[in-house]
Structure 1
């Protein structure tokens, strides 16, 4: 038996590093797999000077996802499958600087409610970029579109005064939203504000889902049975499209040199 002891020691020494490597790989976070394929479509670039600058900084990119239940992640199977979590994972995989996406979604709210917590939950975090998703609850509450637009303009003004770039995200295509009269006026208000305000861009989820329908992926495939909120696949596809749109605008030349 003694003749085999040196051989056993050599075998244990060879196996242990492999086990250690396997344990290390299992602890590395991965980008969650899509719950179904997303349509392969080009997405319009989102121009954000602050995001582009942050891509060249050592401390990296800081984003606040602000909104209602679509941001909080109603319908997702777990927190890691919400669109902000998936967006963070995709940007981290694409960039060589740190990326943080804070989820500041709260179900049931719209522009008027969100203004109350804008300073505490958003501006105090000192983000480079805020993705502000809103309009669905305003449509379902049958809020006055003019009052909605006024609240959004106030919030955008406060964010821009703080030096924060803004992306406005409009409504998903869902039966419970479409059932409300004038629901499209809320999307139109966001588009008009984005088009006329420097430092503000539009991410049109509605247009995106229309294009997906043409490509063979209808809204029902991206929603849970409540006919309102995204399922895991829907959130994954939104995050993928958002990441692609943000990454489509390269960092400024000066930011690249600074790296």
Structure 2
């Protein structure tokens, strides 16, 4: 018999909150997912998820309610007959520079078909220049291209407009600009892009807009909604 806690996780993993507008429109493939489509056709897809605390799952009430396990469940529901493995290699607090520095060893160790790279939020919160961020991005791009893997970029999250935290107040314009530039870079190099920042503008029906009490990390509803829109868009692109 499934324990009550495990059953709760299982049920929550099956669908986004009712207030979440699930749509494939937030993901743009940019003709960059050919290897992943071949992996799906073979019946086995391996995804390496890289980034900072939102990949790691900070703020989720249980490990099974973070983005990575929910994405894996969402893809397996949509890609019937395909064994999907999503490997969580998020490290809270990382900037683009720090993630780029470990891409090569993580890819070598995991041998994924697709790398998810969530980036940009911590760079903005630390007031790093856009020039520096995208110089770091291009270092990572060189690693990814040598590895010949598909890439899905995930842009920054949106912060609560009414936050009273002085470190977060007024940051959304810069986060939006970072998202715009990530979208341009994805189109330039042929990486898929998930537009998380714009998607979150439709999350007003979620508890606290999908953000936890620290005004930064996603809550369970936020993770569930983000995972579902990613799974919806990615599965549509891979089918």
Short-chain TM bin: 0.7 to 0.9
d(CA) in 2 for partners of 1:170, 1:250 = 20
d(CA) in 2 for partners of 1:170, 1:150 = 16
Structure 1 residues 177 and 164 mapped into 2: Cα distance closer, same or farther (>3 Å)? farther
> Looking at CA atoms only, which structure, 1 or 2, has the larger radius of gyration?
1
Picking from 1, 9, 12, the partner of 1:32 is 12
| Aligned equivalent of 2:197 | 206
Structure 1 residues 122 and 32 mapped into 2: Cα distance closer, same or farther (>3 Å)? farther
Q: Which has the higher contact order (CA 8 A, sep 6+)?
A: 2
d(CA) in 2 for partners of 1:205, 1:219 = 17
If the length of structure 2 is used for normalisation, what is the TM-score?
Answer: 0.84
Unaligned runs of 5+ in 1: 1-22, 252-259
Picking from 139, 164, 176, the partner of 2:124 is 139
If the length of structure 1 is used for normalisation, what is the TM-score?
Answer: 0.78
Residue 35 of structure 1: how far off its partner (Å): 7.3
Secondary structure, aligned partner of 1:190:
helix
Secondary structure, aligned partner of 1:55:
helix
| Aligned equivalent of 2:221 | 233
The more displaced of 40-49 and 229-238 is 40-49
Aligned residues: 224
Residue 76 of structure 1: how far off its partner (Å): 0.3
Residue 108 of structure 1: how far off its partner (Å): 0.6
Unaligned runs of 5+ in 2: 161-166
Provide the alpha-carbon RMSD of the alignment. 2.5
Structure 1 residues 24 and 230 mapped into 2: Cα distance closer, same or farther (>3 Å)? closer
Moved over 6 A (4+): 24-29
